[in-house]
Structure formats: C-alpha cells, structure tokens
Amino acid sequence: MKKMVFILALSTIFASCQRSSREVWEDTKTCGRYVNRGVKSLAGRHQDGQLAYIKHPDDSFLYLTEGDDSDISFEEVESNSFSTKEISSQNFVTPTNELAAIFSNIHFDTDSYVIKGEENLTAIRKIVSYLSSHPLCIVTIEGHTDERGPAAYNLALGARRANAIKTFLLERGVSPDQLQSISYGKENPCVEGHNEISWRENRRGQFKVLHSS
C-alpha cells in the first residue's frame, strides 16, 4: 500500500511539474470548487439544481434562477437592472483636466474581475464622491482586456469587468440612473505593446462621462 502511494505521489509530482504555475492555480481553484460543491451536496444543497422562474421587475424578460450559493434574489436583479433608457456612447466624452484625475482607470489581474488594491479603491472612492455630488453626470463604464485571451471570450470578460465596477459603485450608493456599461474585450487597447506592462495597462475599466442638463 505504501509503495503504491509513493509511486502515485512521485508520478503526480512529475505530472504537476509539466504545468505552469498559472495552470496549477487554475486547477487548484477548480478542485476547490468541486470540494465545496461536494460538501454542500452532503448537506442536501445540490449545485446547479432547484431552478425556478421568477419574473424580472422590468418585465422585459423572464429570469431563471438557481437555488444554490449564487442566491440571485428578486431584489438583487432589481438593483442591478438598468432603469434608464440607454444613451448612445457617442454622446459621452473622455474625462479631461480635473475630471481625468477623478475618473482614472481601474486595473485588474489576468482573467480576473475582482477590484482590489489601494489605487483602485481610492479611484472608486473619488468616483462615488463625484457622482453623488453631481447627480446629472452619467457615466459609461468600458470593460477592456489585454490581447492574450481569445477574442470572443474576452468580450464576455470585458462585460464582467464593467459590471463588477458598476456593482461596486451601486453598492456604495451611486444611482443606477447614472451608470451604463460597455464591453470592448480586447478590441480597444490603450497601449499597443506586447509585454506585461502593456497588458496590465490594457486590463482596465475605463470611464466616459456625460453631463446631462
């Protein structure tokens, strides 16, 4: 038995060495999610199950939600839904002068949409403060990715980033009427290089503003 475990451990170490640290981390995350799911199923909570229809408050579509840990609630859908008519992005401008210092880009880690780091949080605080004191200012949040991922998937990831920022602002009291989001994926890089510095700059949430009268 000990021999078997030793051989298995040795072969696993060799197999793991073939992978990059990023791949090992991705697999660890996947394993973690499966373990979490297994523990929940022991308690009678099955992932991806128990789906039920609820009606979306704006009445434009029907929502099919899960009964698992994602816990989409009627209220959450309502708070995240757009209540304003969308305004064409052509009316929005890139912030300049003092506005540029407020609406600075939010940067993300690779394949991530988590807003973290003091620099990002400071930027968010400034934006929340400005939008709270300027209720007629409307902002388009653009979600961008770096050039490395697949183009189609990056369009979805860009939307994820834009919505992560939007949710962050909503949770801090910004009115949903002041926010809209667009995903550009990797289509509009702000830096043209093909290195880590350029990729970091391009993985961003960017703001365009409109002061309505």
Say whether 198 sits in a helix, a strand or coil: helix
Distance CA(100)–CA(208), nearest Å, equals 10
Distance CA(186)–CA(203), nearest Å, equals 9
93 binds other proteins (CB under 8 A): no
Residues 68-87 close enough to bind other proteins by CB under 8 A: 69-72, 76-77, 80-82, 86-87
1 binds other proteins (CB under 8 A): yes
Question: Letter for the amino acid at 29?
Answer: K
137 binds other proteins (CB under 8 A): no
62 binds other proteins (CB under 8 A): yes
197 binds other proteins (CB under 8 A): no
Comparing CB distances to other proteins, the nearer of 102 and 159 is 159
Burial 75-107 (b: 16+ CB within 10 A, else e): eebeeeeeeeeeeeeeebeebeeeeeebbbbbb
190 binds other proteins (CB under 8 A): no
Comparing CB distances to other proteins, the nearer of 13 and 43 is 13
Task: Check if the beta carbon of residue 207 is closer than 8 Å to that of residue 140.
Answer: yes
Residue among 180, 203, 205, 209 that touches other proteins (CB under 8 A): 180
| Long-range CB contacts for residues 169-173, cutoff 8 Å, separation at least 24 | 169/124, 169/127, 169/128, 169/131, 170/79, 170/80, 172/124, 172/128, 173/128, 173/132
178 binds other proteins (CB under 8 A): no
| Minimum distance from residue 98 beta carbon to other proteins (Å) | 25
60 binds other proteins (CB under 8 A): yes
Residues 27-56 close enough to bind other proteins by CB under 8 A: 27, 29-31, 33-34, 46, 48-51, 56
112 binds other proteins (CB under 8 A): no
> Which range touches other proteins (CB under 8 A), out of 96-104, 120-128, 131-139, 161-169?
161-169
Only one residue has tokens 């009316």, namely 91
Distance CA(213)–CA(211), nearest Å, equals 7
Per-residue binding string, other proteins, 4-23, x by CB under 8 A, is -x--xx-xxx-xx-xx---x
